[in-house]
Structure 1
Amino acid sequence: MNLKKAPELITTESVNGGDVPPSLASLSGRVILLECFQMLCPGCVSHALPQARRADLAFRKQGLVVLGLHSVFEHHEAQGHRAALAAFMHENRITFPVGIDAPATSGIIPQTMTRYGMQGTPTSILIDAGGHVRLQRFGSITDLELGAAIGSLLNEAGQPGASTKP
């Protein structure tokens, strides 16, 4: 299997993560769900962020790390402020760390979004304990499919409590 190494995140600030934006290097050896979103994206608000929140609550004890990536490529005036994102996260009871994607150096697509070749938001990315992208999905993914993929990667990583055996 030829796996793609997950590119490092290029973020400027964070919400729910302290002073230092989240990085993949600091989470080496962990299974990561990275949820790329925009506050004004209907699919992000109605499906992707609630799903990421459920995954965080369901798999945190088994070793899953959930990170958000706020990638603004439209409506910058409405979405481009850390305070607005912090209020949005609080109102939606999202407690996992969220990095703010660095603005585009050319064009409109933010830097991390470009590195991953994302088509838009929402995009869900699963990164295995070895730091490889194992799933990257633009749009929606069912809870069952995402949960099975997370469980498989946790088992593969040997995370405590991740066994699917009864």
Structure 2
Amino acid sequence: MRLAGIIIMGALALGGCAPRQDDPSNPPRLGQWHDRTVLTGVRLNDRALKEEEIPPDFRRKLARFDKDDSYCGEPRPRERAEVQALLDEKFDSCEIETFDLNGPEIAVLSRCRPRRVKEDVLMTAKVNGFTGAESIRLDIDAIARLTEKTGGNQLLMISGRRELTRTGDC
């Protein structure tokens, strides 16, 4: 199974840096930004997993979730069509059900089916956050539901937070 959290995190990541002139219509200001993403939890069937309960190969995949970077630019949320194109590259079918960038608030909900998976898997990604002149925060929940041949379900939820903080001018 693909790691939904990492893929969704990339698809919902803020777009690249804009030209070196601040865009007044975009809330985040041009400047030096610290960009940090952390894994905040892994749950299986609504039970929080301790790190030692996660299989080593899956733990290595989850480690890619954490990142810490700095850059100079003006972050901006991606447009719906851009996010849809990124998701279409990674999944057989993917539908963005909610895509709201209302003022400072961000809310996205998508449901996708991964490629090359023999089991019946549905991945749901929910992102809530805000964007401001000096900071951006995205809380992400990626939920994979595996429907077994017996009719039962297994639910895996990976949660993370991405925070961008403006640290000064370029």
Judge same fold: TM > 0.5, yes or no: no
Q: Comparing both structures, which one devotes a greater share of its residues to helix? A: 1
Q: TM-score w.r.t. structure 2 length?
A: 0.27
TM-score (norm 1): 0.27
Compare the two structures and name the one with the higher strand fraction.
2
Whichever of the two has the greater Rg, that structure is 2
